[in-house]
């Protein structure tokens, strides 16, 4: 049984991770930003604990990680999943758009991981799984800030794997393709069909399929895997 902290657990891929870890018998605390009703309903359903904390706020993150540690006793697994998306021409991006995107994905992962890594180093063990995106590998038109942030997560994953390896902490990432969540709810039928056409497995993925890969990288079976990026994209980014 592992003690697990997941960011962005109130819905989508994060919620699927909460369900998957709880189904394995693990103890889960998850963070969310605004959706208190969704978060509390999920927490009650699966026996997890939900904490409100915006990952772009370093003080809120420190307090939430301490609260998670007090509740769980330790943190064995961290899943950095919280994220946002925005489709906009590069030349139309405002400074705020850019900062919000990099702030959520990169500053957020940095604040949470730094706070958790201190505990993992003290306990000489742990698993960190970052949720990137295939766009961090291939780049996406009209999502330059998103692609940049996700490419940054690749760098964080590889560098941190080297630094934390001697403390028996693995750091890996999954890179989902097009997954059926609220993040893609605004896509029109034509765009969805085009994305499915571009996916060798000819469909969108499910949050549960991403969660299964996250659980694998957090498991004992993945004990000798670190610094790796696993595509969960139906072959899109081959
Ligand atoms: P959703 O939009 O469905 O859910 C996003 C989650 O992140 C919510 O729980 C939300 O909380 C939380 N969140 C957002 N911003 C913050 C913040 N500042 N602080 C704390 N929590 C925050 O997204 P998905 O499930 O689709 O995406 C999850 C991850 O997977 C993201 O990192 C995304 O980039 C990545 N991804 C998604 C793909 C897809 O096709 N869906 C493809 C590739 C990668 P709240 O509910 O309170 O707003």
- pLDDT digit string (tens) for 79-107? 999 999 999 999 999 999 999 999 999 99
**Alpha carbon distance 233, 67 (integer Å):** 34
Q: Would you say 40 and 75 are in contact if contact means Cβ atoms under 8 Å apart?
A: no
Q: pLDDT per residue over 143-176, tens digit each?
A: 999 999 999 999 999 999 999 999 999 999 999 9
> How many whole angstroms from 57 Cα to the centroid of ligand 1?
16
pLDDT at 235: 98
pLDDT at 185: 94
| Torsions phi, psi for 31 (to 5 deg) | -100, 150
Residue whose CB lies within 8 A of the most ligand 1 atoms, among 9, 13, 18, for a mutation test: 13
Q: Is 199 in the pocket of ligand 1 (CB under 6 A)?
A: no
Q: Is 147 in the pocket of ligand 1 (CB under 6 A)?
A: no
Q: Is 182 in the pocket of ligand 1 (CB under 6 A)?
A: yes
pLDDT at 164: 99
> How many whole angstroms from 121 Cα to the centroid of ligand 1?
27
Tell me if residue 127 falls in helix, strand or coil: strand
**Interaxial angle between packed helices 12-23 and 36-46, expressed in degrees from 0 to 180 and rounded to the nearest 10:** 20
Question: What pTM was computed for the model?
Answer: 0.99
For the CA of 16, the closest atom of ligand 1 is 25
Strand partners, 179: 205
With cut-offs at 50, 70 and 90, classify the pLDDT of residue 135. Answer: very high
pLDDT at 232: 99
Q: What is the mean pLDDT of residues 67-82?
A: 98
Domains with residue ranges and CATH for the chain: 3-230 (3.40.50.720)
Tokens of 79: 């899943």
**Alpha carbon distance 129, 230 (integer Å):** 10
With cut-offs at 50, 70 and 90, classify the pLDDT of residue 21. Answer: very high
Q: What is the mean pLDDT of residues 58-79?
A: 98
Residue whose CB lies within 8 A of the most ligand 1 atoms, among 29, 33, 60, 102, for a mutation test: 33
Q: Is 130 in the pocket of ligand 1 (CB under 6 A)?
A: no
Averaged pLDDT of the chain: 98
Tokens 């590069």 belong to 90
Percent residues over pLDDT 70 in the chain: 100
Q: What is the mean pLDDT of residues 49-76?
A: 98
Q: What is the mean pLDDT of residues 205-213?
A: 98
Percent residues over pLDDT 90 in the chain: 100
Tokens of 173: 């990432």
For the CA of 9, the closest atom of ligand 1 is 9
Active-site residue list: 146
Tokens of 140: 């996406």
Q: What is the mean pLDDT of residues 206-232?
A: 98
Positive or negative torsion for Cα 110, 116, 122, 125: negative
Residue whose CB lies within 8 A of the most ligand 1 atoms, among 5, 12, 111, 182, for a mutation test: 12
Which string of b and e fits 145-178 if b means at least 16 CB within 10 Å?
bbbbbbbbbbebbbebbeebeeeebbbbbbbbbb
Helices (H), the chain: 12-23, 36-46, 58-72, 95-102, 108-123, 135-138, 144-164, 189-197, 207-217
């Amino acid at each position: 049984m592992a003690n697990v902290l997941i960011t962005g657990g109130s819905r989508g891929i994060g919620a699927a991770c909460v369900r998957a870890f709880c189904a394995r018998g693990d103890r889960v605390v998850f963070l969310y930003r605004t959706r208190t009703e969704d978060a509390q309903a999920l927490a009650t359903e699966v026996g997890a604990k939900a904490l409100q904390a915006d990952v772009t706020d370093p003080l809120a993150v420190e307090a939430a990680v301490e609260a998670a540690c007090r509740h769980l006793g330790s943190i064995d697994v961290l899943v950095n999943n919280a994220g946002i998306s925005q489709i906009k021409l590069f030349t139309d991006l405002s400074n705020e758009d850019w900062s919000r995107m990099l702030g959520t994905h990169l500053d957020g992962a940095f604040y949470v991981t730094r706070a958790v890594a201190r505990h993992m180093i003290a306990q000489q063990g742990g698993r960190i799984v970052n949720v990137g995106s295939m766009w961090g590998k291939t780049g996406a038109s009209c999502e330059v800030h998103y692609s940049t942030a996700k490419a940054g997560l690749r760098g964080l994953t590889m560098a941190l794997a080297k630094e934390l390896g001697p403390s028996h902490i693995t750091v890996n990432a999954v890179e989902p393709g097009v997954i059926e969540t609220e993040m893609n709810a605004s896509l029109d039928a034509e765009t969805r069909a085009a994305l499915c056409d571009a996916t060798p497995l000819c469909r969108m993925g499910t949050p549960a399929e991403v969660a299964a890969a996250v659980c694998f990288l957090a498991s004992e079976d993945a004990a000798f895997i670190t610094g790796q990026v696993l595509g969960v994209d139906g072959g899109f980014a081959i």
